Structure 1
Amino acid sequence: MRIHVLADSDTRWKWGAGLATGFCPQGEVHAHMLRGRSTPTARQMAEVGITPASITETTLPEFVTSPEVADADVIVLGTVGGATQAALHGLAHAFRDYPQRPVLVTGYVGVVYEKVTDGLLLRAGADIVLANSPYDTRRFRGIYEPLGIPGGSVVQTALPFLEQRPYDMNRAGAEHPYTVCFAVQPSVPEDRKSRTYLLRRAIQHARLRPGRDVLIKLRSRPGEQTTHIEAYHYQDLAEQMSEPMPPNLHFVYGNMSDTLDRTDLMITVSSTAALESMHRGMPTGILSDLGVREAHGNHYFVGSGCVTSWDDVDQGEAPLAHEAWKRDQGILADDPYGELRSRIDVLLRAPALPPITPYYTRANASGYMPTLLARRGLNPDGSPARGEGATGGSGSARRTSRRVMRSAYQFGVQRVAPKLQRWGDV
């Protein structure tokens, strides 16, 4: 099976590639990295640990008109909602005269706790919209069906990075110090004061518990970007502190699963790493220090039994998630890819698939769709705009110009903007 994954960041590549290898372990997976602010670096790609058959950096018009994509069996759209909707329009135009077309799959990388209706309608039109849990399946169908979108397009699965590595409660001992991992997030919280507070509490915990190892798990290195912009990198904040770091505190990078292999207690505000640790049966703490707030996403975990604070962690608390909550959130799925595998098989064996019909059209969203598509290089009918994709005119000079502009933009966003923000706080 030929599976082509379009991703716009390292996290969405991890999701899309993990999904592809999950429902089809012997599949031929091709990576298409959408050119933009968060295009993953080679280091970030390697860190995911999945080697694709090919890697292409692309624009959306180039992707939807690619002959390689047209030859795919399955296309996984691992992109933000607006890019997904634009891709659906572009692919609908590209395959309008094809007797056969690939199966289109999309979904969410992690916990869905904000802009639920907005994000779902931007994904409507794919053959399969994945829900990561029974809870999400109910929510998604409850939004689609009243609007005339087939609820059957929602297929229940689970996050592909939930690996079967159960945690051993008796693991800590003389050869393995009890290890607390604080999984940070690029934009939760966003402001310098809050991020400095969380860093200081991790440092304080390391000093209060010298027999423990305290890991600060970082998503990206200073200057790199992931799905969200990280203005105040924790390692930069640590370097600006006058006091030395305790010897049992360590900044770590790399694959989250590898870090969890050495962890005994996961601490975070609302990272999807919490779902990974809960899946293993590992103690997990969802921090309430900055409030339990929709803006932080930790409200999603209210029913888990894991909401706690650094004060409680300092005193030895190590919460375990409720089993019923974990099952409803898809963390304990017995066969997470069974339904998806069956649905894809049925669609691939069908004599013909119906035309791709995104929810938003020029008829029901004339003040929205043309602008959304134009920002991504497409005309209102989904065709590449003049000078984009297969209809482009000036060849290598145009591509070189785009690369230069992209490099300048990324440098500004990733390097200059965070420094300006930090200077503004001084």
Structure 2
Amino acid sequence: MTSEAVRVVAVADSDSYLKWGAATLDGLPAGWLREQWLVTSPIMPSAGQIAAATERPVRVRPLLRLVAELTRRPPDVVLLACTGPVVQALVAVLSRTLPPRRRPVLVTGLPGISIPATARAIAFRRGADLFVLHSRREVAAFAALAAALGADQRFVLARLPFLAGPGGEVDQVDQVGQGGPGPRIEPDGPRRDVVFAAQAKVPPEPEQRRAVLLALARLAEQPGGLHGVVKVRAAAGEQQTHRELWSYPELWQQLVDEGRVRPDQVTFRGGSMQDALAGAAGLATVSSTAALEAIAAGLPLLVLDEFGVSAEMINEVFVGSGCLGSLADLAAGRLHAPDPRWLEENYFHPGPDAGWVDALVPLVARRRAGDLAPVTLGSGGGRPTLRSAVRLLLPAPAVRVIRVGLRRVRQVRRAYRRRRGLPDLGRPDRVRSAPGQHPLADLADGPGSG
């Protein structure tokens, strides 16, 4: 490898991926050049979310300009810290605009808890040279699934970057105890907050969310002065990686209006999770990655199993952790310490954590020698890639108009065929390469995040 500094560009598209990408850049070797870019999209974070995610300057670019700049002056590495469909689109575009001898090393990954492994996540990220995961269990699960799918993907292990200290090791995990239920936590000086890490997707029902708020409100009724705090991911009007249908502040206001709670019984805060945990006595969540941040900070934890333990609740990974508990536990302030055996397999593997960088360095050397292999795209990527690219190119209102219009076209077509006694051909975008198929057909239902 030449003596010229390695240049890495991280591209993000949403709040959680920006946080992960920026923190991953921070863990790269000293002397490497690091740049944070943000591609404009319907889920692009606000200025406040950007400031909470990173202190590094963030270069905001629309898709075409971003690709043009990467093509004109390719970096050594592009870290694709994006939702699945956007990774798929960028891998396809970069592989078609740059020959193998000039293309950057393509690295992708997932920003938090990724159990269970999904075929969707693998399919969206086909073509990347490295796929970064964050626990021994995740690497084993994804590798087994990729083998079953016949997908040629290389998975590498890295500690979640916001869990590690400067040397790559977790600083305070040995403070969590020997695992299992703990007694009711008591305020520790100024630490009186029990922080609930809110998530957009879970729990999905408004009544479930109201039940969480009521349990947090009951904390104030317990002796000792604990106080419930909801750490929200986005303020009103801000975008998130996943759409939130039921806002906790709005549901809280409903409870206040109904006379079921006092306004001061629960507080709502934005900003970074690190700041929220700085004054916390403990943390509760359904399945947020913030649970891992709390463990790393030496705080007791409660992972709610009140609404089930399932892939849908994203909390299967916590089975065996010793941290599962109920809303009654939350209301009483009963939080737990994780089992050390669970920690080793799940995000807190011991020792320094340079495995993924060790895998990256020889790829950078091959790239500089013009010896990188061509990108191998997954099958069936053409139309989903187009859908993702259009989603990035057009403003969100235009995408919504197109979706509504395409649904209406299908409804009219079905009604016409029924009146004529003709069979329903189904959705046109389900028929690959159908003659005359509209190129935006896949926009009708929108991509998942992967």
Instruction: Please tell me whether residue 110 in structure 1 is matched to residue 136 in structure 2.
Output: no
Instruction: Please tell me whether residue 65 in structure 1 is matched to residue 82 in structure 2.
Output: no
Report how far residue 6 of structure 1 moved.
1.4
Report how far residue 268 of structure 1 moved.
0.4
Q: Output the CA distance in 1 between the equivalents of 2:328 and 2:80.
A: 41
Q: Is the 8 A contact 2:71 2:94 kept in 1?
A: no
- Partner in structure 2 of residue 304 of structure 1: 321
Q: Is the 8 A contact 2:23 2:161 kept in 1?
A: yes
Aligned pairs (5 A) from 1:187-202: 187-202=201-216
TM normalised by structure 2 equals 0.76
- Partner in structure 1 of residue 426 of structure 2: none
Q: Output the CA distance in 1 between the equivalents of 2:398 and 2:85.
A: 23
- Partner in structure 2 of residue 38 of structure 1: 43
Report how far residue 267 of structure 1 moved.
0.4
Aligned pairs (5 A) from 1:277-426: 277-336=294-353, 338-350=354-366, 351-361=369-379, 365=380, 369-377=381-389, 402=394, 405-406=395-396
1:239 to 220, 234, 253: 253
Q: Output the CA distance in 2 between the equivalents of 1:341 and 1:291.
A: 37
Report how far residue 177 of structure 1 moved.
4.2
Which deviates more from structure 2 when the two are superposed, residues 160-169 or residues 351-360?
160-169
Query: 3-state DSSP class of the match of 1:66?
Result: helix
- Partner in structure 2 of residue 419 of structure 1: none
Query: 3-state DSSP class of the match of 2:337?
Result: coil
2:17 to 12, 19, 25: 12
- Partner in structure 1 of residue 143 of structure 2: 141
Instruction: Please tell me whether residue 75 in structure 1 is matched to residue 78 in structure 2.
Output: yes
Q: Is the 8 A contact 1:268 1:287 kept in 2?
A: yes
Query: 3-state DSSP class of the match of 2:163?
Result: coil
Per-residue Cα deviation, 1:170-208 (whole angstroms, up to 9, x for no partner): 997673243311111112122222211211211122223
Query: 3-state DSSP class of the match of 2:268?
Result: strand
Name the amino acid aligned to 2:23: G
- Partner in structure 1 of residue 273 of structure 2: 256
Per-residue Cα deviation, 1:89-125 (whole angstroms, up to 9, x for no partner): 11111112x5232111101011113561221132122
Instruction: Please tell me whether residue 85 in structure 1 is matched to residue 102 in structure 2.
Output: no
Q: What residue ranges of structure 1 are gaps of 5+ in the alignment?
A: 379-387, 390-398, 414-426
CA RMSD of aligned residues (A): 2.9
Which deviates more from structure 2 when the two are superposed, residues 202-211 or residues 293-302?
202-211
Query: 3-state DSSP class of the match of 1:65?
Result: helix
- Partner in structure 2 of residue 229 of structure 1: 243
Q: Output the CA distance in 2 between the equivalents of 1:198 and 1:80.
A: 28
Larger Rg: 2
Q: Output the CA distance in 2 between the equivalents of 1:342 and 1:163.
A: 17
Q: What residue ranges of structure 2 are gaps of 5+ in the alignment?
A: 1-5, 166-170, 178-184, 404-450
Q: Is the 8 A contact 1:126 1:356 kept in 2?
A: no
TM normalised by structure 1 equals 0.80
Q: Is the 8 A contact 2:176 2:300 kept in 1?
A: no
Query: 3-state DSSP class of the match of 2:320?
Result: helix
Q: Output the CA distance in 1 between the equivalents of 2:14 and 2:76.
A: 23
Shift in alpha-carbon separation, 1:275–1:140, aligned structure 2, 3 A:
same
Per-residue Cα deviation, 1:263-319 (whole angstroms, up to 9, x for no partner): 121100001101111223321111122222321112221111111012123344221
Shift in alpha-carbon separation, 1:200–1:408, aligned structure 2, 3 A:
farther
Q: Output the CA distance in 1 between the equivalents of 2:236 and 2:342.
A: 36
